[in-house]
Structure 1
């Protein structure tokens, strides 16, 4: 990792010389020296554990897979054609190498808590094989939870939207009981903390969803606006959003995506997102050459699988190119966010 000298000595002194014991009532066991592991609750521990786990990524990439490491949770992504005979064997070899690396590095893998999801067209889901991890066959799930988001085998996100809407409405029901005891500003704060935060979490995934799916979350936002303003359920939500200066749900999601695009293009975001987009370079000089437009994906890459239209590489050029040039060329992130919200507000309410 390029560490040495005093910095390495600091880390060494942090990790060495530790021991643990068991306490039962007033009786303690003899201390037992620790030769591996990191102390729980420390700010440094998650980072040091990720450094320790870094070679596992090389193992997975050696079999053509990709991975995301979240502390002690590891996700493996493997892409292959539906008619591939080699892919299942390679995936099982990869899982065997992962289990072997874990054993050699004094880590325990838990097949019972490991889940497998096959994302494909419905016609390809009966492929008749199961991944095997450490001698245990992993059944293919219809949906799994990843960082709090429910992903299904068709990536429709219907289960995720229903779950978020259900929890948000439950919180609104509780907040409604507090309304007589709170002034409007405090009530707004509570609604943002318990309801709006749920709608905003990973809301970039909701861009491009069918209206019948997104409508469930729109209803939550409308109910929250009526709760704060004490409006009746018959009253239109548009004037309430304008009064509260809220962007409607769909526009809030677009705001988040466009902010991520700006960060990626200006070196403020992760490189793997920047690698998914590129500036448009026309074959000949055009008036639009200096407008910082992004190259859209070819239609052939999105028309066969509907979910690809919601991929970042497809959504980003469409949303970014729709912005006025002065917003795309904003000098700072703060200026971009301010101008973007004003523009989206005009688009949402026709002002």
Structure 2
């Protein structure tokens, strides 16, 4: 969505990465239970079970070997509990935006307000004030100091200042890069910082691989170690960003694979082939889920074999996931035009 919008003339994107202060601890059981009953129509027995789970919890604190007196808590949901993220998702389900070209992207307690701006638009507008008002009325505290704003603007005649986002009288800091869901996003969509971070982490683990090889560990175990502890770092979320990298950054990451191959004594798969495999797999998974947000992006041609390739003006959009996935699907045997 971001890449497609930026491919249009005179557009930019503004992202507000919201940070909640102790999000799970601030949930109000009485509000949650009311929504589960009225909106999601959960049975009474399940509602009572959830209410019993959230209220009357006894807690103690251990400090310097001393245990505090018990304190009863009836607010929030225990952190580290499998049920807590699901309850938070249901609790915040009514937090939505109604303005055009404004979207809330939510993953548990990680929330992003995305504004697709055009022409003279400069800020999030009423969508931000509505979001802040919803948080206040539902007892969720926004940490303004940790909440960040990012402006992605490739216009040559872009205004020098697009205005500040204000929350509770405080100005939200505008940043050039932000770590979201484990990956670094920058306002140029080049993922240079993300590449550097991955490279450093992978190099640290190469040391462990060298040690295992020094102790004459079986080659099969070395391959498993590489796959689990190094390749997993290199390929984390890379269906989203790998094709957007410069050739220099691609070679930088590929050098990790080459080094590990030499240490193990067996060639490991290159990142390009892994990326193509993962993109195809992800695209086919989306095609099998009609309710997926990207499902509508894949439209078959009248022949029923190939998919329409979206028109694009920039390499930036062409290198994004959807166009790349469609090109890979169309290149599969049986789909290529005779």
TM-score, with structure 1 as normaliser: 0.76
Deviation (angstroms), 1:270 = 6.0
Contact 1:92 1:132 in 2 (8 A): no
Deviation (angstroms), 1:250 = 0.8
2:140 counterpart residue number: 107
The gaps in structure 1 that reach 5 residues or longer are 230-239, 282-288, 328-351
Tell me, yes or no, if structure 1 residue 184 matches structure 2 residue 243: no
Partner SS for 1:255? helix
Aligned structure 1 segments of 4 or more residues deviating by more than 6 angstroms: none
2:203 counterpart residue number: 169
1:13 counterpart residue number: 52
Distance 2:147 2:255 in 1: 35
**Aligned match of 2:106 in 35, 60, 69?**
69
Contact 1:208 1:309 in 2 (8 A): no
Deviation (angstroms), 1:200 = 1.3
**Aligned match of 1:121 in 154, 163, 171?**
154
CA, structure 1 residues 157+23, in 2 after alignment: closer, same or farther (shift >3 Å)? closer
Partner SS for 2:190? coil
Alpha-carbon RMSD across the aligned residues, in angstroms, is 2.4
1:336 counterpart residue number: none
Deviation (angstroms), 1:308 = 0.9
Tell me, yes or no, if structure 1 residue 43 matches structure 2 residue 82: yes
Q: RCO (CA 8 Å, sep 6+): is it higher in 1 or 2?
A: 2
Q: How does 1:243-258 map to 2 (within 5 A)?
A: 246-258=268-280
Tell me, yes or no, if structure 1 residue 209 matches structure 2 residue 245: yes
**Aligned match of 1:273 in 291, 294, 317?**
294
Distance 1:170 1:28 in 2: 40
Q: Which has the higher strand share?
A: 2
> What count of residue pairs does the alignment treat as equivalent?
293
CA, structure 1 residues 41+210, in 2 after alignment: closer, same or farther (shift >3 Å)? closer
Deviation (angstroms), 1:26 = 4.7
Partner SS for 1:80? strand
TM-score, with structure 2 as normaliser: 0.79
Contact 2:202 2:230 in 1 (8 A): yes
Deviation (angstroms), 1:222 = 1.1
Q: How does 1:219-230 map to 2 (within 5 A)?
A: 219-229=255-265
Distance 1:320 1:308 in 2: 17
Deviation (angstroms), 1:101 = 1.6
Higher-Rg structure is 1
Deviation (angstroms), 1:13 = 2.8
